[in-house]
Structure formats: C-alpha cells, structure tokens
Structure 1
Amino acid sequence: MRTEQLAIHSLTTKHRNLEEALEAYSTAGFRYVEPYLPLVKAWLEDGHTVEETRALLDSLGLRIIASSELAVECFHASDVLLPNLRANAENVRLISELGGSAMIVHTDGPELVTPESLDPIARALVDLAEATEETDVDIAVEFNASPVVRSLQSGVRVAEIADHPRVGVLFDTAHYHVTPTKLSDINSDSVKWVKHVHLNDMPNTPADLTHRDFDRVLPGEGVLDLAGIISALERNGYGGFFAIELFNAGLWQLPTKEAARRCYESLLPLCEG
C-alpha cells in the first residue's frame, strides 16, 4: 500500500459540515476522501453547487473517490423497488458529478434466506448499473451489511451472478474479522471483484462477540494482521484505494483535525517505505 492510495471516510470523524471535514483531512495529509453522501447533500442544500464543491476539493488538494447512503431494495413489490432504483441512480449520478468512482451499497433480504436469495440481489445491482450506464461509477456491495450477503464469499457470488463490469464487492477488514471470511479467501478468484477497501483494526475480543462497527479501533491498536490482508489483496490484483472507516467514540470526541491526524498517522506504518 502506498500513501497515494490512502483515503478517509467522513463517518470516522465528527464535524460541523463538509468544509470543516475536508479541511481537516487535507491538513492531516489525505488526498482522497469518501464522504458520507448525506453530508454532501446537506452541503448542497445549504446553497452550494456541485461546481463549488469540486472547487473546494480542488483548493484543498482532495478528490472524492466513493460514497454511500441507501440500501438497494431487492425483495419488495415494484412500488418500492422502482423508487428505490431511481433514488440510488440519482446518487450514482451525483457521485459521478463529484468525480467519484464507486458507490457502496447494502441490501435488504427475504424472510427466509437461502442461497437462491443472492439471485435477486445480483439482478437489482445489474439494474442499477444499467440505469446509470452513462457513468463510470462502480456499484460495490458491502458484505455483512445485509441479511443475505454476510461474507466475502457471498459478496463474490453476487458479483459472479451479476457478471457486470461495474458490479463488485466492498472489502472491509472489520467485516472480514467478524464473519466466516478467512485470509485464504482473499485470492485471485475473489479479489478481481473487489472495487473498494475499508481499513480498520479490531480489539482482542472473540470475533463473534465483537461489534462489526462500534468496536473498531485505529490500525495498530488491535489484533488484525492488516499487513497480511493488504498484501493478499495486492498480491491478487487489487490496486485501488484504502479508506479508513471507524465508528470510534474516542475519535468522535476529538477535534476534527486531531482525529484526522491520528487516522492518517495510524496508516503510515502499513505503507511502503
């Protein structure tokens, strides 16, 4: 991993608005950012334009790489599915206008989950990709953020069924830790579907008793073999971004610039050189 691949997810820090967050990330050393889409929308609703937002990013030496907001609904009637598809398509287009290249999504699930439940998820992701074919934004399903897609293996299976160049998987080290996913699952067959990566560390508690979100700690403060995971991803072809994403109460209590600085510095030992 190189420093020019580092990014930060805006949910990792507390801030008043998008501008404060971006200034903190730039000061810390980040050049890439993954803002939660409601943060961007609040900024736009406050009277700013997409062009002004891109100008702000440029002035700070930042680029948006990805974002997220809504679930992709897959197991409802058309009166729910069509509005959801339209809303997600609008989000894809907004991410594209901002210069981003990926949208992270999670999904709903049926009352009874079976292996066949992956099929409608794949179809819904393809529908979204085809509805936004004028963009280059990838659709990455987040495993363990769905009642059905619960591991890297099931995320990859969805991508395989979809068989669309813009449909793939988000790999998150916290989800890796608390699911049946193993280091050996990070191989050439799976990594070719990985569109984006979230990095974080996890505490020394049993994985099945560790919360997938709120127990996350800074890289180097936990027990994950992050260097090994990163190496496995890169060795099998991943060359994209690594965005730190935590939901850590201690970080949220810090000033935005201090939290961002700690995040950036925690990633440096994992970088080449």
Structure 2
Amino acid sequence: MNTPQTPGLYLNTSTTMTTPSAQALQAALGAGFVGIEIRMERLGPHPQEAAEVTALGGEVLSVNGLQIQIDASGRVDQPRLESELAERLALCRSLPSPYLLIVPPLTEGLSQAAALPGLRKALSFCKAEAAKIGAKVAFEFLGFPTCPFNTLASAVTAVDGLGIELVIDSCHWYASGAPALSAQVVHNLAIVHLNDVPSMAPASIQDADRVLPGEGVLPLRDFIGQLRTLGYAGPWSVETFNPAYWTQPPAEVARRAYAAGQAALSVDAAVPGA
C-alpha cells in the first residue's frame, strides 16, 4: 500500500527538469518542501534515478504523467496505454507514490464528443490497474485551446461517476477563463498545482511560459481563496516547465520556489464578499 499524501507544499520536478531526480529531491527537502512530484520526462531516459530517489526516503506525491492517446476518430491507442501505464505503476509501487497523474490527448482535430467515450473507458481501466497496487489515478485538464478537455467543466464530465479525483493547475484554470470553483469540484481534488504566467493572452500560454507564483499576473489570491473557502485542505505543488530555471542551480531554484509558494499560500486569500 502506498503512503498517503501529506497536506503541505511539494515541488514538481518540471521546475528542475534537467536535474537528476535524487538531486532534485534533496534540493526540495533542503528548501523546506514536504517532497516532490516526479516527472516521467526525466525518469524515462534515466530509469536508475528511481532507485536513487527511493534510497533517499523522501516523499513522492505523484508520478507525472500519462497522456492518453486518442486519434481523431476517438479511438484509444490501447497497446500504448497498457505499456505506459505498466511502466508508471511500477514506479508508483517502487518509489512509493500514491498517485499517477493522467492528462487528456492533444490530437489535432479531435473533438470532446469524439474523445469522451474512449477517455472514460481508458480512465476506468487505469483506475482498476492502479487499485491493484494501492495507488490512485488523478485527472488534470489542460487549458490549451487545442485540447478537447481544456476546461474544468470538461474534466468534471470526463470523470463523472468514475470515482476518479481531479488535479487543478492555476495556469490551466486561468487559461480556461478562470471559472468560479464549486464545493463539488474542490472536494474531489487530489492535488493543486501552483504557478504564474506573464502578461499575455491566456489562449497563447504554453508550458514554458510559466513562472513561479507571484512573478506574473495570475489572480492567485482569488484562486487560492476560492479553494480554501470551499474547504480544500490537500497538498499544493509548485509546477513550472520554464527552461530558464533548468540552467540555474537546483538548490537555488528550489529555495525560490518554496519561498514563492509559501508567500502565495500565506496571503489572506479570502474570496471577496465571502
């Protein structure tokens, strides 16, 4: 059985992507983070790093991630899904990590209506396989215009009745129009990702544009305030994909990321009028 997540602040290693995973964990713990979310983009080419992370004994909140591949006709690439799922669940078991994060496809020309049946079937399959090792899957929508599941409402539709938790990312929330949150959504959240974005059109935001919390224009006070007012008490994770951070000393990046995350969470984030 995997260890439960600890409410607190984690570092998603997308922020230190070129740093070996164990070194990233050491930097995160040294900065004050509870632990890390670990990236398959890093572990895939460097599988030996999983054992190095395990040897350190730090907490790994999630393995990121698995993208379900669906073609323009709505057909799931089942062989690829089964192969990638098995690889990632093996990591969840060995690290151990309680969550595997799943994201929707980015197939050109794929509509939400065409993708929905296959996506729900794939999510159910992933959930059943993860349960065999005591892990859970959590689904995150992507706020990019090219994604058929680019809003919170579409993510809720995707997991409705499946017993699967959600992940919400402040950047994707903002890019999708910064919708009001609901108690139903908040009570089904596994993890919240924190980051910021520079002043730019929300529809043009890409992963590499993200910056640390407080360094952009995203209304984090409102975002965090809604979550807290509605009762969110789970883990937070600082997640950026900005290559500018990857060339900097990981200990310094982790220190800045922790300070930025703590500053965002320490602000009186009450929702106006609540």
**Does residue 71 of the first structure (1) align with residue 74 of the second (2)?**
no
**Preserved CA contact (<8 Å) 1:204 1:223:** yes
Q: How does 1:10-159 map to 2 (within 5 A)?
A: 10-45=13-48, 49=51, 53-56=53-56, 58=57, 62-75=58-71, 80-108=77-105, 109=107, 111-115=109-113, 117-144=115-142, 147-159=147-159
Give the superposition deviation at 1:64. 0.2
The superposition leaves residues 107-157 of structure 1 with CA deviations (integer Å, 9 ceiling, x where unpaired) of 335845143532221111001111232233222222126732111110111
Q: CA deviation at 1:93?
A: 3.6
CA distance in 2 between counterparts of 1:231 and 1:115 reads 33
Q: Secondary structure at the match of 1:240?
A: coil
How far apart in 2 are the matches of 1:253 and 1:260? Answer: 13
RMSD: 2.6
Deviation at 1:4, TM superposition (A): 5.6
Count of paired positions: 257
Moved more, 259-268 or 31-40: 31-40
1:31/1:112 CA distance change after superposition, 3 Å: closer
In the alignment, the residues of structure 2 paired with residue 112 and residue 248 of structure 1 have an alpha-carbon distance, to the nearest angstrom, of 27
8 Å contact kept, 1:178–1:212: no
SS at 1:64's partner residue? Answer: strand
Match of 2:250 among 248, 256, 262: 256
1:269 & 1:240 partners in 2: Cα distance?
Answer: 17
Contact 2:18–2:42, Cα closer than 8 Å, also in 1: no
Q: Are the structure 2 counterparts of residues 202 and 16 from structure 1 closer, same or farther at C-alpha, using a change threshold of 3 Å?
A: closer
8 Å CA contact retained: 1:95, 1:103? yes
Structure 1 residues without counterparts, runs of 5 or longer? none
- The answer for the alignment partner of 1:201 in structure 2 is 196
TM superposition shift of 1:259? 0.8
Alpha-carbon distance change, 203 to 83 in structure 1, aligned in 2, over 3 angstroms? closer
CA distance change for structure 1 residues 189 and 4 in 2, over 3 Å: closer, same or farther?
A: closer
**Cα separation, 1, equivalents of 2:113 and 2:202:** 24
- Contact 1:169 / 1:195 at 8 angstroms: preserved in 2? yes
How far, CA to CA, are the matches of 1:112 and 1:32 in structure 2? 36
CA drift of 1:74 comes to 4.0
CA distance in 1, matches of 2:226, 2:135: 25
What are the ranges of 5 or more consecutive residues in structure 2 without an aligned counterpart? 1-5, 268-274
What letter matches 2:198 in structure 1? P
Determine the C-alpha separation between the residues in 1 that align with 2:233 and 2:152. 18
1:16 Cα deviation after fit: 4.1
TM-score, reference length from structure 1: 0.83
1:232 to 226, 231, 235: 226
Provide closer, same or farther for how the CA distance between residues 242 and 194 of structure 1 changes in structure 2, counting only shifts above 3 A.
Answer: same
Higher mean displacement: 18-27 or 115-124: 115-124
